[in-house]
Amino acid sequence: MDRFDALQLFTRIVELGSFTEAAGVLNIPRATATHAIKELEKRLGARLLDRTTRQVKPTLDGQAFYERSKRVLAELEDAETSLSTHVANPHGTLRLDLHGAHATMIILPRIGEFRERYPQIDIVISSGDRLVDLVKEGIDCVVRAGQPRDSSLVVRRLADMPEIICASPEYLARYGTPTHPRELTKHQGIGFFSRGNDSRYPFTVIVDGEVTEFEASGWISVSDAECYTSAALAGCGLIQVPRFRLEEHLRAGRLVQVLPEWTCPKLPVCALYPFHRHLSPRVRVFIDWARDLYAEKFDPISMTDKDVDSA
């Protein structure tokens, strides 16, 4: 194993805390990984990793070497991207994590077009509403709705999605239809929770030019976007979601928009990726392609250097 591959292996072991997982990500035998790290430590004359039966952690020397290694690998990747043939023909495996609705309703229906444009990129997609550790799980890029909170990631805004508040006809027949946003506080709201966040979000509506929050009561909370919609269809209460997800239910009359005279703040959808992968050609071309895809679905937004920032 050459020095470049050894550095890649070492950084992945530190990030994943496991020889086995790092070897799996890099598609090499575990025995090869173990031998390579022993050779690296022998060449450097220092122990880089503390190994136990449960985990692997860097030593003090190993942590310092890890920080230097990340910078070296970033410089090498930067050098690769400077080659026009590499940028024009990106290759390798692109690992994505996509929110369910964005996967099934926006990206996957058109993913064949991306493959035709970049035939040397293989794609691995995980999907769901859970929070993911991009570095530890080896994910190159995620697409998420909402305000990003992880300051360790680079953020590229793809779109601003119109939101609406709605409920089932059965719910409205039983509890009445609100005629002003302040009446939302007297209604049942379906709660939505995710790891590390509160289980109930307020409804947000623009009133007199300002974003105003209205807390609703409620008896049910869910942690999945599909369950959120299903609970509304079952008459459990009001929900606030991007309109594109509900078009079919709205047309069929299964859900009804309330307070259409008031505008809800638009919900941003962003691509996020680790700092040390921000120059990867395959990540770059995916984000550029996704930006155009979202521009077709929603209003185009200005994408300047200012849109590349930490969350």
- Assess whether 45 and 124 both reside in one domain: no
Q: Choose the final residue of a domain: 50, 81, 112.
A: 81
Residue type, 170: E
- Assess whether 217 and 201 both reside in one domain: yes
Q: Which three-class secondary structure state does DSSP give residue 31?
A: helix
- How far is residue 278 CA from its own chain's centroid? 15
Between CA 20 and CA 41 the distance in angstroms is 18
- Assess whether 254 and 181 both reside in one domain: yes
Q: Give the mean pLDDT of 159-183.
A: 97
Q: What is the pLDDT of residue 72?
A: 83
Residue 149 belongs to domain with CATH number: 3.40.190.10
Confidence of residue 101 (pLDDT cuts 50, 70, 90): confident
Q: Give the mean pLDDT of 254-273.
A: 95
- Assess whether 146 and 279 both reside in one domain: yes
Q: Choose the final residue of a domain: 59, 81, 103.
A: 81
- Assess whether 26 and 64 both reside in one domain: yes
Confidence of residue 309 (pLDDT cuts 50, 70, 90): very low
- Assess whether 75 and 40 both reside in one domain: yes
- Assess whether 72 and 14 both reside in one domain: yes
- Assess whether 173 and 249 both reside in one domain: yes
Between CA 311 and CA 187 the distance in angstroms is 33
Q: What is the pLDDT of residue 224?
A: 84
CB 99, CB 224: distance < 8 Å: no
CB 186, CB 197: distance < 8 Å: no
Between CA 274 and CA 75 the distance in angstroms is 15
Number of CB atoms found within 10 A of residue 125's CB = 14
Residue 74 belongs to domain with CATH number: 1.10.10.10
Report the predicted TM-score, pTM, of the whole model to 2 decimal places: 0.70
Confidence of residue 134 (pLDDT cuts 50, 70, 90): confident
Structure tokens at 16: 């994943």
Between CA 282 and CA 289 the distance in angstroms is 11
Kindly state whether residue 105 falls inside one of the protein's structural domains: yes
- Assess whether 23 and 110 both reside in one domain: no
Helix (H) or strand (E) holding 257: strand 256-258
Q: What is the pLDDT of residue 130?
A: 63
Between CA 254 and CA 227 the distance in angstroms is 15
Q: What is the pLDDT of residues 221-250, one digit of tens each?
A: 998 889 999 999 999 999 999 999 999 999
Contacts of 308 (CB under 8 A, 6+ apart): 154, 155, 156, 278
Q: What is the pLDDT of residue 159?
A: 94
CB 273, CB 144: distance < 8 Å: no
- Assess whether 188 and 226 both reside in one domain: yes
- Assess whether 56 and 102 both reside in one domain: no
- Average pLDDT in the chain: 86
Contacts of 46 (CB under 8 A, 6+ apart): 59, 61, 62, 65
In terms of DSSP bridges, do strands 191-192 and 256-258 run parallel, antiparallel, or are they unpaired? unpaired
Kindly state whether residue 210 falls inside one of the protein's structural domains: yes
Domain total of the chain: 3
Structure tokens at 43: 């060449």
Kindly state whether residue 306 falls inside one of the protein's structural domains: yes
Kindly state whether residue 217 falls inside one of the protein's structural domains: yes
CB 73, CB 66: distance < 8 Å: no
Percent of the chain at pLDDT > 90 equals 60
- How far is residue 253 CA from its own chain's centroid? 31
pLDDT at 163 over 60: yes
Q: Specify the higher pLDDT residue, 277 or 3.
A: 3
Q: What is the pLDDT of residues 40-78, one digit of tens each?
A: 999 999 999 998 877 899 999 999 999 888 878 767 765
Kindly state whether residue 263 falls inside one of the protein's structural domains: no
CB 117, CB 89: distance < 8 Å: no
Helix (H) or strand (E) holding 43: helix 30-44
Q: Write the secondary structure of 196-244 as one string of H (helix), E (strand) and C (coil).
A: CCCCCCCEEEEECCEEEEECCECCCEECCHHHHHHHHHCCCCEEEEEHH
Domain limits for position 283: 90-158+268-310
- Assess whether 280 and 212 both reside in one domain: no
**Angle 14-152-74 (CA atoms, 0-180°, nearest 5)?**
60
pLDDT at 302 over 60: no
